[in-house]
Homo-oligomer: A and B are copies of this chain.
Amino acid sequence: MSAASRAKRNNPQIDVTVLEKTLDVSYSACGMPYNIADPARDMNDLVVRKADEFRTKNKINLMTGHMVNRIDTATKTVSGIIFSDIIALGSNSSVVNTDDTHQDVVNTCDARQDVVNTDDARQDFSYSYDKLLIATGATPVIPDLPGFDLPGVMPLKNLEQGRKIKAFIEKNNVQKAVIIGMGYIGLEMCEALRARSIQVTMVKPGSQFLPWMKPELADFVKQELDANGIKLCYGKIKKIEHQSSSKHTLSVVCENFTLDADMVIVASGVKPCSDLAIAAGLKVSVANSIAVDKTLKTSNDNIYAAGDCADAFNVVSGEKCWIPLALRANRAGWAVADNVCGIKTELQGVAGTAVFKMFDLQITRTGLSVKEALASGFDPVEVIIQTRSKAHGHPGSNTIHVAMTGDKRTGLLLGVQMVGKDGVAHRINAPAVALHAKMTVAEFAQTDLGYAPPFGPVWDPVLTAANQLLKKM
């Protein structure tokens, strides 16, 4: 929708059609855990703009309930199936769709995985294009194991899934939940579920908690989970079973233990929805994301890809990466609109900046971890420091932990990770900009960052880390 709106702003004469499988076209996906946490808030509060607004105000030919299942690059057409009952739903004022018939359609954005249950709801469509944008996003990875289709076993990626989780909690008196996976979404859901007084256990295969994070920093995240009564279990997951005899209706069966639950959140990561692109012969790269150049063009001259389905250049390594985050998705949408309208735009790439909140903790990163730096051929040196979020003696100051990595050969800053309860989140942006500028650690250490006692020490934590790192380089 970012691309469609911007294309119409660039050139009101351009004919823009959007084909969207679901009914939700513009919402804050990242806000879902915070909304689920609060029974007083409606899930539709997250809707930024309704489909009809795009139709009437932006003059976009927006077709909801349209699932594309084929791109024909030779004839420059896309074709697929219309779900007329979804469209009918869209014409009501309520857009909440809890009808089980459509569960599978809404759950996945990738045509090849969809199962359509009712033949009479089908109707074919076909559109021709001059330029095509694939913005199919990403979809949760659902382990191919028994029981992941049971009621109460739910992923969280799109708004419809958010509505289902929230409705499930409210209807089923959920007291015990298992979260499969320990990534951003799983960790944000911990806080949301605890806010609803739900007991939470997280489980994942393998044994490494937040593998991208320095173990010393990851330990603080674990401590915060522990302080909030979240249990962490590690073990191979074998299946999920329905329990009719127990107080709790589900059990997650792992190799050496079994976890009871009223609800299971599947948060084992996401993958790009690129099957449609692959079938059309487009090149893919990291994690099967659609390969795009700096203008967001795919291997086909008339096809662009943007958002969580597409790859990006990493500004630190110069290599392709797949980091599905919201800012890049928006920015890429705009860039496609500009390029299609003849305003040549190149995106330099991403630094991999990410931030999330978990209970009282702020957790953030930018650039490469030591492992990633090694893989990209750097000679990483790193330092971990502990400092304060406010000035010496200022009330409300808290500990900030900073891990910073530089390249011994070139002196370049490579990455920063931070954890703390106060003043962490926005602090990542200074080193993020330094990564874009390809600053050395020595150059970054000289930057003139703001200082006032209520907001930090004289030497900002990222500067202290840079000063310490310099000694090792």
Measured between beta carbons, the chain B residues less than 8 angstroms from A325 are 451
Considering the chains assembled together, what is the distance between the CA atoms of A439 and B436 in angstroms? 10
A327–B451 touching, CB < 8 Å: yes
B450–A429 touching, CB < 8 Å: yes
B393–A45 touching, CB < 8 Å: yes
For residue A440, give the distance in angstroms from its CB to the closest CB of chain B: 11
| A38-86 interface with B by 8 A CB criterion | 38, 41, 45-46, 48
A455–B355 touching, CB < 8 Å: yes
| A421-473 interface with B by 8 A CB criterion | 423, 425-434, 436-437, 439, 443-444, 446-456, 458-460, 463
Given known pairs A439-B437, A458-B326, the reply for A355 and B451 (CB within 8 Å) is: yes
Q: Does A391 contact B (CB under 8 A)?
A: yes
| A301-353 interface with B by 8 A CB criterion | 315, 325-328, 330-331, 347-353
Q: Does A8 contact B (CB under 8 A)?
A: no
Q: Which residue of the partner chain B has the closest CB to A26?
A: B392
B331–A446 touching, CB < 8 Å: yes
Considering the chains assembled together, what is the distance between the CA atoms of A428 and B447 in angstroms? 12
Copy tally for this chain in the complex stands at 2
Chain A window 175-186, contacts with chain B (Cβ cutoff 8 Å), 1 for yes, 0 for no: 000000000000
Considering the chains assembled together, what is the distance between the CA atoms of A276 and B349 in angstroms? 53
Measured between beta carbons, the chain B residues less than 8 angstroms from A35 are 393
Residue from B354, B434, B443 within 8 A of A450 (CB atoms): B354
Measured between beta carbons, the chain B residues less than 8 angstroms from A458 are 28, 30, 326-327, 330
* Interface pairs (15), CB distance under 8 Å: A28-B393, A28-B453, A30-B458, A31-B392, A34-B453, A41-B393, A45-B393, A46-B392, A348-B446, A353-B450, A355-B451, A426-B426, A428-B450, A430-B432, A436-B448
Instruction: State the 9 A-B residue pairs at the shortest beta-carbon distance, nearest first.
Output: A437-B437, A355-B450, A426-B426, A429-B430, A425-B455, A351-B448, A433-B433, A31-B453, A357-B454
